Structure 1
Amino acid sequence: MGLGRYKNGKFDLILSLRHNADATRIGQWERSFRRASEILFDATDGQMQFGKLYVANNSIGGTEADAWLLPDEGTSSSFVNALGIPGLHMNLKSDEKNKPFVVIHEFGHYGFGLYDEYIGPSGSAECTGTTSGGACIMEHGYWNGDQIADDGTLTPGPVNEFCVEDNHDPDSDTDQESIHGEPCWNTIHTNFPDVAIPDGLPGGPVPGGHEDVDWILLAEDPRFVLLLDKSGSMSAGNGISGVRFGADYWTQYLATSGDSLSIIAYNHGQDVILPLTSLDATTDLGSTLTAIGSITPGGTTNVGGALDSGLMQILSPGDRAATQVAILFSDGLHNTGTPPESVVDDLVENGVRVYTIGFGPYADQARLEQIADDTGGRFEFIDADPDSDAGQLEIQNYLIEISGEVRDGSGIVTMMPGLLPEPAASEFAAVKDVVRLKGSSKTTLAAVGKIPLAFRVRSTGFDHRAYIESGSDRATFVVSHKEGTAVNFFLTAPDGTLVNPQTDTDVTLVNPTYAPYAFYVVRKPASGFWTMRVTRGQATGAIPFKIFAFSENRDIAFGINGINRAYRVMDTIKLQSQVVFKTPLTALRSPIASIDLKPPGTKTLTVGRLGLLKGAQTVVLKERTVKTPVSGNASRPLARVANGVYENVLQFDEPGSYSVTLKMVNQGKATEAEAEAERKRDGEREPAREPAPMFIRTKRFQIHVGPLPEGKDVESGDQSPSGSGSSSITKQGTILKTSQISKASVGSGGFHVDIGLELRPSEESSG
C-alpha cells in the first residue's frame, strides 16, 4: 500500500516477498537493497538514502508494501510518485536481487515522481545519450548500472547520477521532459525541497557518511486496536450508540482467530478494556462485550492520548507486524491532553494505519479526515442517526469493508445493497448497473463488460452472482442486514450445487443466532459464478441488507491514486488506477467508467423495470499510452503501447463527501503491460503471455470536497453545530468537469472499469 515515509534524509520502506522465500533469497534481496541505498546516496550527493526496510515474507504485508519482491524474472515496473499512497507499489522482479541499479531506477518513479528518459511520446529517446558526464539513472538499464553476482561479487556500472539542466535531454523528446518539462533533479527538489540541486554537472567522488540500512523482518499476526470515544460530546446525536454498536460488531463478528486485538475506551483518560490479546477459537470475549455495552458518555476528549495508547498496545509484543490498524470511533472534538497531530508522526513511523468513523452533529470531520489521510487509512462520516437501522447498517458495512481491505490478499469482488420489501408489496425487479446502448433508447442489463450480473429483488428473495477467479485461496460471501431482522442465506456453487457446510469440509458457515450477518468461507473455491441468495426469515417488515463477496488471491492487487486527501471546491482531482496480476496488466481495449451521482434523498437503487439511475453521468478512465517504434517495419514506424494505468480528472463545484465505487474487471483477455509493450515494439502478432485469469475487484471510498466541518467544543458549552446556531444542507453537488487526459489504447477486450459515485452533502453553517 505504500506506507513508506521520508524523514531526515532517509526513506523507510515496507517490502513484501510474494512467496515463501528461504534465507538465501532473503539475504540476496537484503544485499541488493543495501547497495541500492549506497547508489541513492551517491546520486543525491549524500543527501538521501534508505533508512529502515521492513520485510514481510510469505506473501504477507502486500497491502502496506512499497515494493512487491516477485519470485519470477522479467521487467520491473512502478507507479509514479506513489510513496505513501494506499494500494500502490513498485513491482520488482526476481532479477533485481542482483541488480540494485534497477531498484533505484524504479524508486525514481515511485519515490521521486520521475519519468523515463529512454523513451518519449514519439518512441525511443535519450537524455544525455552517453554513460559518462553525469548520465542519468532514468535513461539507462541494468547493464549500465551496478550488478551483484550470486556469490556477492559487485561489478560497478558507469551510471549513478540524476540529470540537471546542463545535461538534460537537449532535443526535448523524453517522457520526463514531455510530462514535467524539467530535468530529474528539479523534480526531486520540487517534491523534496530540503534537498539541494547540485551545482554544474553531477559527478565527482562518492560522498562519505552513508549509514547502514536497518533490515527488519515483520511479524505475521494482524494487529487491531479499537479506540472508543466516551466523552461527553458523544451523547449528541446518539454518537455513543454508534461507538458501542461498532465496537460490539467488530469484536463479535469481524475479529478472527489469528488476530491480535486491543480495545480502549477514552475521554480525558484511557480505559484499556482489552489489552492486546492473541485470538483463537477458545478466546472468551464475554466480559469485553459487557464492558463495551456499559460505556457511557462523560468528560472531555483526549484524542491524541487515545491514539498514543493504541500505538503502545500494538507495539506491546516488542516487534512490528505486517498489518497494524487502529479504528477510531469519535466525533473528533479533541479539547484536552496530547494533540492528535503530535502522535501522527509516531503512528506513521511505526506503520499503523488509522481508520476514522465520525459521528454527531458537532463532529470535527476535518480533523478525522486528516488523521486518516496522514496515516494511510480512510475516513467515513456516518450521517444517519447511529441509533437507527440505517446508521447501524452504515457502520457495520464500513467495518466489513475495512476488514476486507486490510487483510492481506483479500479483495472485494462485489458489494451490493438490497431490500426485501413487505411481502404484500408487488414483486418488482431493480437494476443497479444499466447501460444505455449508444444510438438506441433500449437498455440492457449489462453487468461488467459482458459478464452477466444476476440481480433481482423480490418480496421473497434476492439473487446475486459473484465471479470468483481461478487461483483464489479463499472466498468469503457475506450478508449484512439490519439488527433485529432475520434472513436466510444460501450459496450455490458454479456447477449449480447448493453448498452444504455440514457435508463439505472446505466450507464453513458462520451464522450466529440473532447476529445481523452471516457468511460462508470457501477454501480453494472453484472458479466461476457463485450465486448468493437472501430470503426473508420473518413474516413481516421490510429488510434492508447488503451483500459482499471477497476473494483472497495474493497474485492480485488493485491500487487507486488521487483519493487520499481532502480537496477544495474546484480542485482538479486526478484519479489513477492499476490492477496487478503478479505484474501490471494492460487491457486490449479502453475501459469504461460510469459515475452515478445520487442526489440527497434518492435511493441507492432505482425501483422499476430497466430504469436508469437518476443523475447518472459517465466518465471514462483511459489507459495511458505512448508511441514506440516497431522493429523492422518502415511502413508502420510507430505502435501505440499501453502501460496499464487508467486515469481521468474530476472537478466538483460543491462541497460534500462523495462515495465512489470503483470496479475493475478482467474478462480473461488482459496481458502483462510490459510484455505487451515489448511485443508491439518487436512487431510481433502473437500475444506476449498467457492472459491473466478472468477476475473482478471492487473498491469503495469517499472523496471529501471541502471545506469539511471543523466541529464545535460542546463539552465547553457551545451547542451550535459547525459554526453557527443553525445549519443548512448544501445544495446537490455535481461533477462540474471531466476531461480525458490520454487517448484510448487500441484493440478490444480486457479491463472494464466501472465507477459509481454517490453524493452525500456535508452540513455547513448557513452564516
Structure 2
Amino acid sequence: MERTLWRRSFFKASELLWAATEGQLSFGSIFFTDNAQSLEMADFILSETDRGYTTSDTFGVINRNITLGQYVKRGPLTTIHELGHHLWGLGEEYARSLGGKINQSASLPATHGNRIIPLTLSNWGVADSTFAGADVVYRNTAGGIETQTIATKSGLRITLNAPLSEDPRLGTSITVQWVIGVECTTTVPSHACVMEHSRTAAGTLNPDGTWTPAANPITEFCDDINHDPDQDTDQHQRWAKSCWGRISTHPTRSLLAPGGHPGTGTPTGYVPPTWIEAQGDIQLALVLDHSGSMSLNGGTRLTGVKNGAKYWAKAAQANKQALSIIWYNHAVDVLVPETDFATLSDSDVDQIVATIQGQVPIGLTNIRDGLFEGLNQMVGYAADPPARAAILLTDGVHNTPPGSSMLEAIAPYRKDNASIYTLGLGSGSTLDISGLERLAKDTGGLSGAVADGTDEFAIRTEMIKFFQHILGGLVLADVRRLFAQYGHPGGLWPNDPELPFANRPPLADIMGSLGAATPDDLQTMVGDTLMGIDEVPVELGSTTAMFTSAFGDGVHAWLYLIDPDGNEIKYDDPSVIFGREFRSFEFASVDGPRPGIWRVVNIVPGNDKIHAGRQQTLAGIGDDKVRVGVELSSPDRPGPVRVAVVTRYEEVLTGLGVAAIVEPGKPGTRRIELSDADEPGVYVGYFDLPDGQYSGHVEVTASGANGFADVDHSMLHGEPGATDTWVANNPPFVRMVPIGFTIGRLPKPNPEEETRG
C-alpha cells in the first residue's frame, strides 16, 4: 500500500509539473528502490516521517536530492515546490522568515495554556497584524520540534491557535514563516505562485487515488506581472526577478517563459510516467586492465590487480554478491559473466582465482569497451536492481579504437542506474586522471589513485576499500604495521603460515600455553612485530560486518576474531565465513553482528623462513540506514580542492565530526576538519596544496542521537500542528570513504606506453 500511495503521488506530481511548466517538463521513468547504495544518485528520498529537505540548484549533482515527508502522498504540490528549489534554485515566495528570542522570565496569565509566547523584542520590522496565519516553529526541551499557526501578535506576545506541548518559556527562540501571506496574487486567486504554497494547495490526493481539487488550485509559477509587488520575498532578494524570470534564464536548465499569465489548465500532450520498482540486490562488475604497460616494474601492477580481484571473488562468495569480472586491453575478455557468487562452490571460486592468476599483460588500452561490457553483463543479468556499480582499474590512457573516448560510457551508465568507481595506478604522466575523475563524478561513483603504481600491496588494499565502501561502509582502513615472520615465542605459537583455518588451534589455547590471560597480555609478551590487535566499532542495526587483514611483501598472519562480549569466534561458527589467500589476505564475514567493539587479532607464525612485510586491517559494515556521500571539486589549475560530505542515518544528519585526510608524501599526512555552518548537513572543507596527485579518505564520526539537518525548514513545509523531533535516533557509528584527487595540470599521458608487453 505504501508504494501504491507514493506511485499515485508522483504520477499526480508529474501532471502538476507538466501544467506548471506549460507543457515543457514532466517525469519520464520513475525508479523506486529501498537500497542504500542508490542514495548518491537519487533525486528523491522518501521519509518515514513528515520531515522534508532539499538543496538549491543542485539537480543532477551527486549526493544532492529532495527528501519528501509522508504528507506529500496526499499533497503532491509539495513535490513541484521542492523541484523549484532543486532544479532552478528558486527562493521562497513567502512574505519572509524571521527568528526571535523568547523571554524566559516573562510573567504570563495562569490561563495561557501554552498558547502564549513571550518575546524579548516587540518590533520585528513588520506590523503585528501580519503575523496572523503565519507558522511558528518551536524546539521543546524534550528534543522535539513542533509547529503551530499564529492567531495574533501584540507587542511582546504571540498567541497561537493551538497549544504547544510545554510552557513556551522553557524554550529559547522561535522561527516564524509566513506561508499564507500571499505575495504573487492579482485579481485571480489561482494566480498565486507554487513557491509560496505547497501541501494541498492544488488539491488533495485521497487514499483511494481520487483527486479533489482545491477551491482555488495553485498550479503555476509566478511571472513578471504578478511577482511579489513589494519585493520582500526570498525569491526576489535572491534573483531580483520572478520565478519564470529565473526559470527562463537558468544557465543549464532553462525553459521557454509563457507570454503573460500562464494558463491554469493542463496543456495537451501529457504522457504519464513509467514506474519501475527495483528487484534483487546490487550488481557489480570488475573491469580490469591487462594492457602492455601493466608489465612495467616486473609486473607488480598486474600482480596487485590480480590479488585484489582474488579478494573480490572470494568476498563476493562470502557476501552472496552478484559479480562479473572483465579483463581488457585492445580487446575485451569476459572472465566471469555476471554471476551470483553465492551459488558457487569453493572449488568454483578456486578455479576463478586460478584463471585470474593466469592473466598476462599485452596490447593497447580500450577502456570504453571494457566499461560497455561491464554494463552489458549487469544489465543482461537481471532487470532493475537497486543499484549497479563497475570498478575500473587502469594504469594508462584510452587509446583504441581510434577516435573513441572512454567518456562515451557515462551516458549509458547513467541511463541504467549504474555508477563507475575508478582506481588509477600510477601518476599523471601515464594516466588520464581528469578523465577517470569525470567518469566517477558524472555517474555517482568515486575516483581513487595509487600514485606509486608499482606498489602491489597498496593496489590490493585500495581494491579492498572499494569493495567495503560499495557494499556497505568502510569503518577502519588506516591501521598499518610492519610484521616480521621470524622467531618463535614457544608454547602453541604457530610455525606454519599456510595452515588452513580448520587445523589451527584456538587463540585461547595459544594464550594459555604461554601463560597470557588476555590477548593484550599476549601482545605484550611477544611484541608488535609478531602480533597486532585492532578494534572495530559495529553499530546497532548492522546486518553484516567484514573484517579483513591484508599482508604484503611476503608476510602472512593468522586472523582471529573476538566479539564485543570477549568471546573468540570459532572457525566453524555457521554465522561466520572465513576466507584467505596465502600471503595476500584473510577475512571473516559475519551475519547479524552484535553491536559494540569487535577485536581483530593477527598473529604471525614464526619459523626459519624469514619474511618481513606490511599488514593492514580493514573493516566494512552493512547497514542500509547509514550512507556517506562525498563530492570533490578538483581544479585543473593551482587552487584549493573543495570536499563536501553528506551523511545520512535514514535522513541527513548534523552535529557530526567530519574530517578529510590525505597523504601527499611530503611533508606528510594533511588533515582538515569540515563544517556545515553554511548549509546544515553539508560538511565542507578545502585542501590548499601544491600541484600534484593525492589520495586518502574522509572520516565521519557520529556520537549518537545527532541532529536532523535543517529541521526548521522541513517543519515549515509540514502541516500546522505537526510535531517532530530534531534529535535523530542514530546509534554511534564511524565511516571512512576513500578519496583521490589532483591539483593543477599534470603532464599528458603518452599513449605509446601502452604498446609495451
**Which category describes the TM-score, using the shorter chain as reference length?**
0.7 to 0.9
Structure 1 counterpart of 2:80, from 101, 104, 109: 104
| Alpha-carbon contact 2:364-2:755 (below 8 Å) kept | no
In the aligned structure 2, how far is the partner of 1:142 from the partner of 1:570? 47
In the aligned structure 1, how far is the partner of 2:546 from the partner of 2:537? 12
Cα gap change, 1:679 to 1:60, in 2 (>3 Å): closer
Gap regions ≥5 residues in structure 1: 1-23, 426-454, 605-615, 626-643, 720-767
Alignment of 1:19-58 (within 5 A): 24-57=1-34
- 1:247 alignment partner in structure 2: 309
| Alpha-carbon contact 1:164-1:201 (below 8 Å) kept | yes
In the aligned structure 1, how far is the partner of 2:615 from the partner of 2:422? 23
In the aligned structure 1, how far is the partner of 2:457 from the partner of 2:237? 48
Structure 1 counterpart of 2:219, from 160, 180, 191: 160
Structure 2 counterpart of 1:272, from 328, 331, 334: 334
Cα gap change, 1:181 to 1:491, in 2 (>3 Å): farther
Structure 2 counterpart of 1:368, from 422, 427, 436: 436
In the aligned structure 2, how far is the partner of 1:679 from the partner of 1:44? 27
SS of equivalent to 1:315: helix
Cα gap change, 1:241 to 1:294, in 2 (>3 Å): same
What is the deviation of 1:570?
4.8
State which drifts further: 119-128 or 466-475: 119-128
For each residue in 1:144-168, what CA deviation from the matched residue of structure 2 results, as whole angstroms up to 9, or x when unmatched? 1332100111123422223445544
Cα gap change, 1:236 to 1:617, in 2 (>3 Å): closer
What is the deviation of 1:33?
0.9
- 2:284 alignment partner in structure 1: 224
| Alpha-carbon contact 1:112-1:191 (below 8 Å) kept | no
In the aligned structure 2, how far is the partner of 1:572 from the partner of 1:364? 21
For each residue in 1:304-350, what CA deviation from the matched residue of structure 2 results, as whole angstroms up to 9, or x when unmatched? 22222222222223623222122222234222224323332112111
- 1:458 alignment partner in structure 2: 528
- 2:748 alignment partner in structure 1: 710
Bigger Rg over Cα: 2
- 2:481 alignment partner in structure 1: 419
- 1:208 alignment partner in structure 2: 268
What is the deviation of 1:181?
5.8
In the aligned structure 2, how far is the partner of 1:468 from the partner of 1:394? 25
In the aligned structure 1, how far is the partner of 2:736 from the partner of 2:340? 30
Cα gap change, 1:339 to 1:492, in 2 (>3 Å): same
Is the counterpart of residue 129 in structure 1 residue 183 in structure 2? yes
For each residue in 1:654-676, what CA deviation from the matched residue of structure 2 results, as whole angstroms up to 9, or x when unmatched? 32233343222222242334656
- 2:46 alignment partner in structure 1: 69
| Alpha-carbon contact 2:424-2:431 (below 8 Å) kept | yes
| Counterpart amino acid of residue 30 in structure 2 | L
For each residue in 1:179-225, what CA deviation from the matched residue of structure 2 results, as whole angstroms up to 9, or x when unmatched? 56654445544253452234444444422112221111223133222
- 1:487 alignment partner in structure 2: 557
Cα gap change, 1:493 to 1:367, in 2 (>3 Å): same
| Alpha-carbon contact 1:559-1:578 (below 8 Å) kept | yes
Cα gap change, 1:521 to 1:243, in 2 (>3 Å): closer
| Alpha-carbon contact 1:569-1:653 (below 8 Å) kept | no
In the aligned structure 1, how far is the partner of 2:544 from the partner of 2:606? 31
| Counterpart amino acid of residue 415 in structure 2 | E
Is the counterpart of residue 320 in structure 1 residue 384 in structure 2? yes
In the aligned structure 1, how far is the partner of 2:443 from the partner of 2:53? 25
What is the deviation of 1:81?
3.9
What is the deviation of 1:399?
1.9
What is the deviation of 1:170?
5.1
| Alpha-carbon contact 1:572-1:649 (below 8 Å) kept | no
TM-score (norm 1): 0.72
In the aligned structure 2, how far is the partner of 1:60 from the partner of 1:193? 27
Structure 2 counterpart of 1:234, from 286, 294, 303: 294
| Alpha-carbon contact 1:365-1:711 (below 8 Å) kept | no
What is the deviation of 1:176?
4.4
| Alpha-carbon contact 1:147-1:154 (below 8 Å) kept | yes
Cα gap change, 1:228 to 1:492, in 2 (>3 Å): closer
- 1:747 alignment partner in structure 2: none
Matched positions, count: 624
SS of equivalent to 1:280: helix
Structure 2 counterpart of 1:659, from 678, 695, 699: 695
What is the deviation of 1:28?
1.9
Q: Name the Cα RMSD after superposition.
A: 3.8
In the aligned structure 2, how far is the partner of 1:346 from the partner of 1:678? 35
In the aligned structure 2, how far is the partner of 1:685 from the partner of 1:271? 58
| Counterpart amino acid of residue 654 in structure 1 | P
Structure 2 counterpart of 1:517, from 565, 585, 603: 585
- 2:537 alignment partner in structure 1: 467
- 1:501 alignment partner in structure 2: 570
State which drifts further: 672-681 or 527-536: 672-681
In the aligned structure 2, how far is the partner of 1:180 from the partner of 1:531? 55
- 1:151 alignment partner in structure 2: 208
In the aligned structure 1, how far is the partner of 2:723 from the partner of 2:62? 36
Cα gap change, 1:106 to 1:414, in 2 (>3 Å): farther
- 1:622 alignment partner in structure 2: 676
State which drifts further: 680-689 or 44-53: 680-689
Cα gap change, 1:290 to 1:470, in 2 (>3 Å): closer
In the aligned structure 1, how far is the partner of 2:729 from the partner of 2:324? 44
Structure 2 counterpart of 1:553, from 607, 623, 644: 623
What is the deviation of 1:543?
3.5
- 1:697 alignment partner in structure 2: 735
- 2:708 alignment partner in structure 1: 672
| Counterpart amino acid of residue 94 in structure 1 | Q
TM-score (norm 2): 0.73
| Alpha-carbon contact 1:483-1:516 (below 8 Å) kept | no
- 2:665 alignment partner in structure 1: 600
| Alpha-carbon contact 1:166-1:201 (below 8 Å) kept | yes
Alignment of 1:298-447 (within 5 A): 298-317=362-381, 319-337=383-401, 338-360=404-426, 362-386=430-454, 391-407=455-471, 410-420=472-482, 422=484
In the aligned structure 1, how far is the partner of 2:405 from the partner of 2:661? 39
Alignment of 1:562-581 (within 5 A): 562-563=631-632, 565-570=633-638, 573-581=641-649
In the aligned structure 2, how far is the partner of 1:277 from the partner of 1:179? 52
SS of equivalent to 2:694: strand
| Counterpart amino acid of residue 477 in structure 1 | F
Cα gap change, 1:92 to 1:273, in 2 (>3 Å): same
In the aligned structure 2, how far is the partner of 1:585 from the partner of 1:697? 13
| Counterpart amino acid of residue 277 in structure 2 | L
In the aligned structure 2, how far is the partner of 1:226 from the partner of 1:597? 26
| Counterpart amino acid of residue 218 in structure 1 | A
| Alpha-carbon contact 1:225-1:261 (below 8 Å) kept | yes
Cα gap change, 1:684 to 1:250, in 2 (>3 Å): closer
SS of equivalent to 1:470: coil
| Counterpart amino acid of residue 714 in structure 1 | E
Task: Percent identity, please.
Answer: 26
| Alpha-carbon contact 1:64-1:322 (below 8 Å) kept | no
What is the deviation of 1:593?
5.1
State which drifts further: 148-157 or 471-480: 471-480
Is the counterpart of residue 533 in structure 1 residue 601 in structure 2? yes
In the aligned structure 2, how far is the partner of 1:679 from the partner of 1:58? 26
In the aligned structure 1, how far is the partner of 2:92 from the partner of 2:415? 30
1 or 2 for the larger relative contact order (CA 8 Å, sep ≥6)? 2
| Counterpart amino acid of residue 89 in structure 1 | N
Cα gap change, 1:236 to 1:512, in 2 (>3 Å): closer
Cα gap change, 1:117 to 1:458, in 2 (>3 Å): farther
| Alpha-carbon contact 1:593-1:619 (below 8 Å) kept | yes
- 2:518 alignment partner in structure 1: none
Cα gap change, 1:471 to 1:570, in 2 (>3 Å): same
What is the deviation of 1:538?
4.2
